[in-house]
Structure 1
Amino acid sequence: MGIGSGIALFVIGAILAFAVNVDLGGVVNLDLIGYILMAAGVVVFLISLVLVMRRRSTVSTARSAVDPATGERVTTRRTSDNGDPIV
């Protein structure tokens, strides 16, 4: 379930809670089901958002060495945005 699923659950719940006006004789309360779906949509959306943000962490590595021929300091920087190991 992703961000889209959370939004879809929220929208379906809002439609049931606010737009549908059907009396089912006390068997099922569509307003309550709508509110439950809206809450579930918010929870799924937030969990998906946290997982997406966690996946986008940046890894940066800097290495310094001295060139034996010239005596200059050489710095190599490598970055990775998707969490793959830097070789």
Structure 2
Amino acid sequence: MGIGVSVFLLAVGGVLAFAVSDRISGVDLTAVGYILMGAGALGLAITMFFISQRSHTTHTSVTEHRHIDE
């Protein structure tokens, strides 16, 4: 899950939790909103962790040269 998807889940969850007052039989939209916001926040935290790890990673390549005596 990338940053864009995480922010989208946060936004949709916020709208469902705080702005929607309609009722659907058998579905608590406020709870669904909080769940989506939690998933978005968790996804954003995990994504930021992996981006941070990737920026601190170093790569070393080793090239071996052979010298031939004549």
TM-score (norm: length of structure 2) = 0.79
**Structure 1 runs of 4+ with >4 Å offset:** none
Q: Which has the higher strand share?
A: 1
Partner of 2:44: 45
Q: Supply the AA of the counterpart residue of 1:43.
A: L
Number of positions where the alignment pairs a residue of Structure 1 with one of Structure 2:
62
In percent, how many aligned pairs have the same letter? 37
Query: What's the RMSD between the two structures over aligned residues?
Result: 1.4
Choose between structure 1 and 2: higher helix proportion: 2
2:19 is matched with which residue? Answer: 19
TM-score (norm 1): 0.65
Query: What is aligned with 2:34?
Result: 35
Task: Tell me: higher relative CO, structure 1 or 2? Use CA pairs within 8 A at least 6 residues apart.
Answer: 2
Structure 2: give runs of 5+ residues left out of the alignment.
63-70
Matches of 2:61 and 2:33 in 1, distance apart?
47
Q: Give the Cα separation in 2 of the matches to 1:9 and 1:85.
A: 38
- Which whole-Å CA distance do the structure 1 matches of 2:60 and 2:4 have between them? 29
